[in-house]
Amino acid sequence: MIPGTFEYYRPSDLSEAIKLLTTHGDDARVMAGGHSLIPMMKLRMADIPHLVDLQDIDALRGIEVDGDAVRIGAMVTQHELIADEALFKAAPIIREAALQIADPQVRYVGTVGGNVANGDPGNDMPGLMQCLDAVFSVHGPDGERDIPAREFYEAAYFTAREDDEVLTAVSFKPQSGGYAYEKQKRKIGDYATAASAVLIAKDGATCSSASIAMTNLSDTPIYSQAASDALIGSDLGPDAVSAAVDAALGEIDPAEDGRGPVEFKKHVAGVILRRAIERAVSRA
């Protein structure tokens, strides 16, 4: 399996990369770790005459954690996310989710930017970033703009990023309270049959904030405000958890594929949501 021919570029700064995208339009694509793009090119499902490798752009690297803000460069790998202790303290849900992505070899190379920008509903980081209410920074010929993760995904592989823009970083506020990323998959390395990211904070015995998002249960990640609302103000007891699960299930639209028929996926989604909420509550 060998891809079609292409010209290869490895710019050392962002403006050079954006210039290549502007010059070549639809014929150019940027590549981060390449572990989604290269398989598509090998299958000849993606034809990219001008391939722009981002590996030499230092501005896209690094994890910055200060008091009330976390910023992760787009080229930070899953392996680096898992290893970073400051990030683990600020948002432990990231390590929990990243450990469930693919396998060790893929995590050394796969990046957070590639994972969120790709637009594949099977990717785990988009739902996670919606749960964290993250913001994606994109740079294009007209400068930088920020797009909330909850407004970024339009349909499978269609996002709010324009073709001549490069996603450069994800940012969010450090989390407090309980967390869980729960994922059902057929085997290590598979995409989720269903996955859910949950954050829960308590004030005494009462839920003071909640955020629930889901992976691979529609053609985009799903953030469920209704599920979050079902928990906020509640005692987080069995009735409230069931109400949240029901609300979340009302927002998904899974498609039948090799991972199972629609009814099965809805069933698995219910199990995963309940586990994720209960685990987040136990840690809150």
Partner 1 sequence: MSKMHIKMTVNGKQVETLAEPRELLIHVLRERLDITGPHIGCETSHCGACTVDMDGKSVKSCTVFAAQANGADVTTIEGLGGPDNLHVLQEMFKEHHGLQCGFCTPGMITRAHRFLQENPDPTEEEVRFGMAGNLCRCTGYQNIVKAIMAAASEMNAAKEAAQ
Q: Which residues bind partner 1 (CB under 8 A)?
A: 1-8, 10, 34-35, 38-39, 41-42, 51, 53, 55, 79, 102-106, 108-109, 188-189
How many C-alpha atoms does 90 have within 13 Å on its Cβ side?
21
Q: How far is the CB of 186 from partner 1 (least distance, A)?
A: 12
Characterise 269 by phi-psi region: left (phi > 0), alpha (psi -120 to 50), beta (else): alpha
Q: How far is the CB of 79 from partner 1 (least distance, A)?
A: 7
Task: Report d(CA 203, CA 131) in Å as an integer.
Answer: 20
Q: How far is the CB of 135 from partner 1 (least distance, A)?
A: 29
- Which CB, 155 or 188, lies closer to partner 1? 188
- Which CB, 46 or 147, lies closer to partner 1? 46
Query: Beta partners for 135?
Result: 148, 171
Tokens 């219910």 belong to residue: 270
Residues in the chain: 284
> What one-character-per-residue DSSP string does 31-77 give?
ESS-TTHHHHHHTTS---SEEEE-TT-GGG--EEEETTEEEEETT-B
- Which CB, 13 or 151, lies closer to partner 1? 13
Token pair, residue 120, equals 């594949």
- Which CB, 8 or 205, lies closer to partner 1? 8
Q: How far is the CB of 188 from partner 1 (least distance, A)?
A: 4
Q: Which three-class secondary structure string do you get for 70-85?
A: EEEECCCEHHHHHHCH
Q: How far is the CB of 177 from partner 1 (least distance, A)?
A: 27
Q: How far is the CB of 56 from partner 1 (least distance, A)?
A: 9
- Which CB, 13 or 103, lies closer to partner 1? 103
- Which CB, 38 or 201, lies closer to partner 1? 38
CA distances from 159 to 37, 94, 119, 166, 235 (A): 16, 22, 6, 12, 37
